[in-house]
């Protein structure tokens, strides 16, 4: 793959990992960030860019061939913000977008934040640019953080199974896609090697880390009531609650061989992730 690869969110969890992999591979890249001081790659080509100001993205993408588009933090208007980012990329002359989406993204998917991803995917498809969509499952990295101070994971996931994937595996897939041809027009579900319930996740956390953890399957009403104390806006609480509810509906019970097929190594099992974190 020739040409400059722009990486958004280059100081974040996914963008930062991808930037390091591209650097190690000798790829030509430009890191799009809001705070240059947080970049950890000495001598990197850095461009200032803020998704809420499309002109800055247009300028940052000037001369770029491929844009690795890491989705913005959740906001009420994220879908519209990201639509304008896609427009800015097209206006800048970008040839291809590789976008980080979410499994089962759809206009009425249970996970409300997943709807933003669907609208962004549609904007990318309508742009006329080449594209590759990476639909990541839930990150294994965040599951231990679901537990409260009492070691209890609470949410309306029922007995739903989750094909959770590590951020490292996602970054490996993304870097491979960015540096290869032949992925144009593809949409990949990026998952772990097996699906498991939050009951099973809690048992694994307890056994492997020694941190006593259990899962309580809340009802939807209980989930909303237990989150009232955060005084967050309704759209945000909806996202928190429905991230669990999407497991209960089966929308996260997706397992593929994408990591092994594209990154060239087996996807990381949750047990192995816990043992090495």
pLDDT in tens, 31-88: 999 998 899 888 889 999 999 999 999 999 999 999 999 999 999 999 999 999 999 9
pLDDT in tens, 253-264: 999 999 999 999
Number of H helices, E strands in the chain: 10, 9
The CA dihedral of 174, 84, 123, 22, to the nearest 10 degrees, is -10
pLDDT in tens, 108-131: 999 999 999 999 999 999 999 999
Place of tokens 């991230």: 243
pLDDT of 2 over the 70 cut: no
Any long-range contacts for 104-109 (C-beta under 8 Å, 24+ apart)?
Answer: 104/135, 104/246, 104/251, 104/252, 104/254, 105/135, 109/246, 109/251
The residue-averaged pLDDT of 201-225 equals 98
pLDDT at 210: 97
Closest CA to 243 of 112, 71, 76, 107: 112
The Cα 210–Cα 88 span in angstroms is 48
Query: Looking at the domain that runs over 5-136+167-189+256-263, which CATH code has it been given?
Result: 3.40.50.720
pLDDT at 157: 98
- What residue spans define the domains of the chain? 5-136+167-189+256-263
pLDDT at 1: 52
pLDDT at 17: 97
């Amino acid at each position: 793959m020739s040409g400059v690869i722009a990486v958004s969110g280059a100081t974040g969890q996914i963008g930062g990992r991808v930037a390091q992999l591209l650097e190690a591979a000798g790829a030509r890249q430009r890191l799009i960030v809001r705070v240059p001081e947080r970049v950890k790659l000495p001598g990197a080509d850095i461009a200032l860019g803020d998704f809420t100001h499309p002109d800055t993205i247009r300028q940052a993408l000037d001369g770029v061939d491929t844009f690795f588009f890491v989705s913005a933090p959740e906001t009420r208007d994220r879908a519209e913000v990201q639509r304008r980012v896609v427009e800015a990329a097209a206006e800048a002359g970008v040839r291809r977008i590789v976008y980080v989406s979410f499994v089962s993204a759809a206009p009425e998917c249970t996970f409300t934040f997943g709807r933003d991803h669907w609208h962004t995917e549609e904007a990318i498809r309508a742009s006329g640019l080449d594209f590759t969509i990476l639909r990541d499952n839930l990150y294994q990295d965040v599951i231990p953080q679901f537990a409260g101070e009492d070691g209890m994971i609470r949410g309306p996931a029922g007995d739903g199974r989750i094909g959770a994937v590590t951020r490292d595996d996602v970054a490996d897939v993304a870097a491979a896609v960015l540096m290869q041809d032949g992925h144009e027009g593809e949409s990949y579900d990026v998952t772990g090697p097996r699906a498991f319930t939050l009951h099973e996740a809690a048992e694994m956390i307890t056994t492997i880390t020694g941190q006593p953890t259990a899962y309580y399957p809340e009802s939807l009403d209980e989930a909303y009531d237990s989150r009232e104390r955060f005084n967050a806006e309704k759209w945000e609480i909806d996202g928190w609650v429905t991230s669990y509810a999407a497991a209960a509906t089966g929308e996260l019970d997706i397992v593929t061989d994408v990591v092994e097929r594209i990154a060239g190594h087996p996807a990381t099992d949750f047990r192995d992730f816990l043992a090495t974190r």
